[in-house]
Structure 1
Amino acid sequence: MQDPNADTEWNDILRKKGILPPKENPNEVEAAEEELLQHQQSVVKTYEDMTLEELEENEDEFGEEDERAIEMYRQQRLAEWKATQMKKVYGEILEISGPDYVQEVTKAGEGLWVILHLYKRGLPICALINRHLSELARKFPETKFITAISTTCIPNYPDRNLPTIFIYRDGDIKAQYVGPLVFGGMNLTKDDLEWKLSESGAIKTELEENPRRKIEDRLMSSIRTSAPTKKSSDSEED
Structure 2
Amino acid sequence: MQNQYEDTEWNDALRRHNIIPQLEKEVTEEDIVDLVEQTVESKSQGKSLGDMTYDELNEREDDIDEEDERMFEQYRRQRMAEMRAAQMKARFGDVGEISKADYVSEVNNAGEGIWVVLHIYKDGIPICKLVNNHITNLARKFPQTKFLKSVSSVCIPNYPDKNLPTIFVYLEGDLKKQWIGPIALGGMNLKQDELEWMLAQVGAVESDIEKPERPEVKDVMNMAIRQSRIDNEDDDDSD
**Same structural fold, with TM-score higher than 0.5 when normalized by the shorter chain:** yes
Q: Which structure carries more helix by proportion?
A: 1
- Give the aligned residue type for 1:47: E
Counterpart among 158, 170, 180 of residue 168 in structure 1? 170
TM-aligned CA distance change 1:155 to 1:78, over 3 Å: farther
Question: 1:49 maps to what in 2?
Answer: 75
Counterpart secondary structure, 2:112 = coil
Q: What is aligned with 1:159?
A: 161
- Is the CA contact 1:126–1:163 (under 8 Å) kept in the aligned structure 2? yes
Shift of 1:48: 2.7
CA distance in 2, matches of 1:205, 1:219: 30
Cα deviation for residue 79 of structure 1 reads 5.5
Residue 107 of structure 1 deviates from its aligned partner by: 0.6
> Equivalent of 1:84, from 84, 87, 108?
87
Counterpart of 2:121 in structure 1 is 119
Offset of residue 198 of structure 1: 1.1
**Aligned position for 2:189:** 187
Letter paired with 1:132 = H
Please say if residues 96 and 149 of structure 2, whose CA atoms lie closer than 8 Å, have aligned partners that are also in contact.
yes
Q: State the distance in 2 between where 1:209 and 1:122 align.
A: 30
In the alignment, the residues of structure 1 paired with residue 75 and residue 205 of structure 2 have an alpha-carbon distance, to the nearest angstrom, of 31
Post-superposition CA distance 1:171-192 (Å, at most 9, x none):
1111111111011111111111
- CA displacement, residues 96-140 of structure 1 (integer Å, 9 cap, x when unaligned): 111111111111110011100000111110000000111111111
Seq. identity, %: 46
| Correspondence list, 1:6-155, <5 A | 42-51=68-77, 73=78, 77-78=80-81, 80-87=83-90, 89-155=91-157
Partners in 2 of 1:79 and 1:166 — Cα distance? 31
- The 8 Å contact of residues 191 and 211 in structure 1, kept in 2 or not, is answered as no
| 1:27 corresponding residue in structure 2 | none
Give, as a single letter, the amino acid of the residue that structure 1 aligns with 2:153: T
Code of the aligned partner of 2:71: K
Cα distance change, pair 49–145 in 1 and its aligned pair in 2 (3 A): same
Q: Is the contact between residue 83 and residue 142 of structure 1 (CA under 8 Å) also seen in structure 2?
A: no
Amino acid at match of 2:85: K
Count matched residues.
157
Distance (Å, rounded) in 2 between the aligned partners of 1:118 and 1:195: 20
Structure 2 CA distance for partners of 1:173 and 1:125, relative to 1, 3 Å = same
Paired residues of 1:167 and 1:174 also in contact (CA < 8 A): yes
- Two-structure CA RMSD over aligned residues (Å): 2.5
1:34 corresponds to? none
Q: Structure 1 residue runs of 4+, over 3 Å off?
A: 76-80
Over residues 43-74 of structure 1, what are the superposed CA-to-partner deviations in whole Å (9 max), with x where a residue is unaligned? 422233223xxxxxxxxxxxxxxxxxxxxx4x
Distance (whole Å) between structure 1 residues aligned to residue 218 and residue 83 of structure 2: 46
Contact 2:194–2:211, Cα closer than 8 Å, also in 1: no
Structure-2 separation of matches of 1:47 and 1:151: 55
In 2, Cα distance between the equivalents of 1:139 and 1:200?
Answer: 17
Which letter does structure 1 place at the counterpart of 2:197?
W
Structure 2: runs of 5+ lacking an equivalent: 1-64, 220-225, 227-239
Query: Which stretch shows the higher mean deviation, 115-124 or 78-87?
Result: 78-87
Amino acid at match of 1:81: R
Report the Cα offset of residue 86 of structure 1: 3.3
Query: Shift of residue 93 of structure 1?
Result: 1.0
